[in-house]
Structure 1
């Protein structure tokens, strides 16, 4: 027995087996908790029934990147962010920009100027620090000119119509009080021939998965300020944006969307470019 345990190959097999066993027990326990729980409240996925916990971001700001970095790496979200944000050009507004996790992906050759906005000043402060400190992921010479603005995505009243060529929002619709209003504001400030670039998470393709999201949604929102069970596709359609491209990942819960604003001309008919 001692010889068996001292063999490196056998130890690897044992450790792998123990890891799989532990993962199975962990997953089974949480599956049991979910499916033995009472049904989620009716309307739990409706943003009108979801309290806003935006205040949590002020406290999370100093450690936000460290706490979500591993999860984003496992899900390959850096690649998703890059694929989307590299399409930005001209005058660019990013809403719900948080700590600036997209900063390293903006193309210097295409972006004339970048405005990062968020309702949380501490989150924006963390983003601003990234532009002032040399680091391995954001070479300072490769950043376009940047300004920062504390703004609520649902009310961009200080920004004129058609002010930006590109509006970007990544994982922001889950945290705003009214995602439809936020998208309408993005469409308003986006130029007629511009694009709204969205990377969001929400309801998936299967009922069992959506039930799990619904059951854990409130606790998740209280911790992270994020309601991860919203109907993203329905919200985009209700806001009146025209979807040009849409890809879904992670069992349909991650949405990568390119949309265009639909403008109303002087005679009242809708037009898009």
Structure 2
């Protein structure tokens, strides 16, 4: 990811974050307990919202995003450790975390299936998996539009795929989805799952 994308990310996301996303994030993160792993923490938008965590370990592959997250790390009311790593190669032991969180990150992971396997490995059996993602829409016309836009969108937005079907990917790897909440005509979803091993 480029420094330019990291520098402008919060600016472009701010209108959505102020209106709806902050409430969605806060509600989702309130369900995170124990030792938490956050995948792709970006500019640290979630950091001030953690309340019930014992500790949060946040992984982020982009050094420029990490630099932009330091201020939010200092605003957090729980300890947050930021580790530069990719979701496909997590530097943690089996069964380390009680909860794994991903918010608007699975769209940019180059190999989402490998990331899911790694997430399952480091999450305890029956541990929580909480996601807030944009996904491929069910409407045929809109999903076709997502397919058509994705190649150009990936170049503009540092690898972001508009047409990932993340919920199906999770189900295909034995993650039990307990609840799915849809937003903006099912473009965005919140999912609560359990890690079955």
Q: Distance in 1 between matches of 2:144 and 2:128?
A: 33
When the two structures are aligned, how many residues end up with a matched partner?
196
1:168–1:198 CA contact under 8 A, matched in 2: yes
Partner in structure 2 of residue 159 of structure 1: 92
Q: How much has 1:66 moved relative to structure 2?
A: 1.2
Contact 2:126 2:196 (C-alpha < 8 Å) held by counterparts: no
CA distance in 1, matches of 2:126, 2:165: 26
Q: Deviations over 1:47-95 (max 9, x none)?
A: xxxxxxxx24x33112321122113335x11111111111111111101
5+ long unaligned stretches in structure 2: none
Alignment of 1:1-273 (within 5 A): 55-56=1-2, 58-74=3-19, 76-107=20-51, 110-132=52-74, 140=75, 143-156=77-90, 158-225=91-158, 226-263=160-197
Q: Tell me, yes or no, if the aligned pair for 1:81 and 1:199 is still in contact at 8 Å.
A: yes
Cα distance in structure 1, aligned partners of 2:120 and 2:151: 29
Q: Is the 8 A contact 2:38 2:57 kept in 1?
A: yes
CA apart distance, 1:203: 0.9
The answer on whether the counterparts of 2:100 and 2:119 sit within 8 Å (CA) in structure 1 is yes
- Structure 1 residues without counterparts, runs of 5 or longer: 1-54, 133-139, 264-273
Could you say what secondary structure the match of 1:182 adopts? helix
**Structure 2 CA distance for aligned equivalents of residues 118 and 239 of structure 1:** 23
TM-score of the pair, normalised by structure 2: 0.93
Question: Could you tell me whether the CA contact under 8 Å between 2:45 and 2:72 is conserved in 1?
Answer: no
- Could you say what the CA RMSD is over the residues aligned between the two structures, in angstroms? 1.5
Q: Distance in 1 between matches of 2:73 and 2:131?
A: 23
Runs of 4+ in 1 over 3 A off after TM superposition: 71-74
Q: Max radius of gyration: which structure?
A: 1
Higher strand share: 2
CA distance in 2, matches of 1:100, 1:84: 15
Distance 2:165 2:36 in 1: 26
TM-score, length-scaled by structure 1: 0.68
Distance 1:64 1:70 in 2: 11
